[in-house]
Structure 1
């Protein structure tokens, strides 16, 4: 059986899909596995040996306009191969159109939005559950079996790391998010870095470049293309951050993750890995609000209420040391 996965975006969502989709090939039930993905995230999907071919979607180029000739050429490439199954894990109008253009039996999630279900010949009841479980339900429909026995971390890439870093000898800090309600107070990352002895601290991400006074800090903010970010996350001793793409990618490689959650629901989108630790402030009626803006009387109490010592303890308990692998 030949299968096409349609899951173009976003960074963390693609990572969560990669947690289960490779089971199709590992089970021996699928002969060929191709993937439609935003070209910016192609290196992540390419890191999965079970994926045979990538069809990159030029989202950045077409953000403002869709040049007709280029779109037709891209659609022709999408239709070039016939698949037994076209599985849309995005569930939006654009991905549904991609699935409709491709050739094969079209399957989508029942939770699809923007009228996407018009393109599907079958839908999978995915319900209100974790994203990985929703994708697993779709994969189970295709393979006719529970994908659980074939789930495992992605293989580690070669440890091509910035100068001065050794595998397992550093902790990655990712203090950024597009949602302001996902942000842990930035000054706490500096306190945390000074508390964690024995590891170098590496900070990554894109956004306001606030000061982090941490001895020996390796500041890679705004300077990490995805090809270099993947080995950095894969060989870290741990990652500390929030509900963000790097946290999900780190978990995908088996890297311990300590994630602070506030507005979003870890039962739906938390990093899925045995060594992932998700910290929340219990007792707040307003969380998870699933909102980009905080409207509480005490703004951002859900994030500010998670103390530095608590995060440090979680890192010490879960992080791996140099030479562990």
Structure 2
């Protein structure tokens, strides 16, 4: 009842949002989810609102091409320190509002206690902490879920214009910087990779309904591609180097890169082969040529948001190695059919 009353109160004309007001955006804590927010962020920017992105430190580099004219606030693990950081930043922004993409109670509490009136999906007791508590849609891709939150929030804050797209575009369109591409190019040169290569990402952290999310055929794939003359490379983060080497012992190991430089690296590859994981969404965001493998998750909900991505396998059925080899070679030759 209280949440419904709060929503009714926010619909009054006196609460319309001036277009110059900044929007503090709480990004998701997972790389893939953050990438899938990109169409929603672009919608907010199109409306003329400066954005202040708030998220984990890794997101600052990944989104540095997007936040050149906006701002970024790195959040750590301490709730109290994050609250103080946000409150200090508000001094230079005048009137602001918040949009919270994560579904956690803590993310809503952080913005509320920092003094930011915010919108987000209700649930888990969040309604009393949100000034605009929206019902979460079901049965949509995560990109559409995030976009719907931004779209419906803008409808409440600033009705119209009629030209506002009700659905996200077909691509994530992550802007990368010249520094990102330069770092990726230097890394390849230092590793002695001067020709076409296939970038493999064999690790997918965690379980899905108790089942591993990582395709077990990466080692055999690298051997098969090597026999066909392809150079295979991996570029794992520091905490995944050992397990990645074990999964693909024949691949060239590139040093760990920042997420922005890694995104650029995916665009230099003839093909990226990855699990349904954060790497899949980074590759899609960068516009890379990618093959994403499914065996325990549903591509309709979490698959790469790219019309050019090749998706193999299905929930409950991993693809075979020869199928992946054939897809890589077709993709590398420019055939996405």
Name the CA distance, whole Å, in 2 between partners of 1:320 and 1:21: 33
TM-superposed deviation, 1:243: 1.4
TM-score between the two structures when normalised by the length of structure 2: 0.74
Q: 2:231 aligns with which of 192, 196, 200?
A: 200
257-266 vs 312-321, greater mean Cα deviation: 312-321
Matches within 5 A, 1:176-195: 176-180=203-207, 181-185=212-216, 186-194=218-226
Name the CA distance, whole Å, in 2 between partners of 1:51 and 1:311: 41
Name the CA distance, whole Å, in 2 between partners of 1:74 and 1:44: 21
- Equivalent position of 2:292 in the other structure: 259
Unaligned runs of 5+ in 2: 1-18, 156-163
TM-superposed deviation, 1:123: 2.8
| 2:154 paired with 1:136 | no
Q: How many residues align?
A: 285
Give per-residue Cα distances to partners, 1:152-171, cap 9 Å, x unaligned.
512343322211345x8322
TM-superposed deviation, 1:270: 0.9
| 2:307 paired with 1:274 | yes
Name the CA distance, whole Å, in 1 between partners of 2:170 and 2:296: 32
Residues 3, 83 of structure 1: 8 Å contact kept? no
- Equivalent position of 2:321 in the other structure: 308
- Equivalent position of 2:137 in the other structure: 127
TM-score between the two structures when normalised by the length of structure 1: 0.77
Aligned Cα root-mean-square deviation (Å)? 2.7
Residues 232, 252 of structure 2: 8 Å contact kept? yes
264-273 vs 145-154, greater mean Cα deviation: 145-154
- Equivalent position of 2:246 in the other structure: 210
- Equivalent position of 2:51 in the other structure: 33
Residues 234, 254 of structure 1: 8 Å contact kept? yes
Q: Could you say if the C-alpha distance between residues 90 and 83 of structure 1 is closer, same or farther in structure 2, counting changes exceeding 3 Å?
A: farther
- Equivalent position of 1:318 in the other structure: 331
Residues 261, 280 of structure 1: 8 Å contact kept? yes
TM-superposed deviation, 1:236: 2.4
TM-superposed deviation, 1:231: 1.9
Q: Could you say if the C-alpha distance between residues 82 and 125 of structure 1 is closer, same or farther in structure 2, counting changes exceeding 3 Å?
A: farther
Residues 241, 260 of structure 1: 8 Å contact kept? yes
Bigger proportion of residues as helix: 2
Say which SS state the counterpart of residue 22 (structure 1) adopts: helix
- Equivalent position of 2:10 in the other structure: none
Name the CA distance, whole Å, in 2 between partners of 1:244 and 1:220: 19
- Equivalent position of 1:292 in the other structure: none
Name the CA distance, whole Å, in 2 between partners of 1:86 and 1:320: 45
- Equivalent position of 1:291 in the other structure: none
Residues 7, 95 of structure 1: 8 Å contact kept? no
Residues 174, 286 of structure 2: 8 Å contact kept? yes
Say which SS state the counterpart of residue 278 (structure 1) adopts: strand
Residues 35, 55 of structure 1: 8 Å contact kept? yes
Say which SS state the counterpart of residue 41 (structure 2) adopts: coil
Unaligned runs of 5+ in 1: 282-286, 289-301
Give per-residue Cα distances to partners, 1:279-314, cap 9 Å, x unaligned.
124xxxxx46xxxxxxxxxxxxx33xx111111222
TM-superposed deviation, 1:254: 0.8
Say which SS state the counterpart of residue 326 (structure 2) adopts: helix
TM-superposed deviation, 1:276: 1.2
Larger radius of gyration: 2
TM-superposed deviation, 1:99: 2.4
143-152 vs 79-88, greater mean Cα deviation: 143-152
Matches within 5 A, 1:36-55: 36-49=54-67, 52-55=70-73
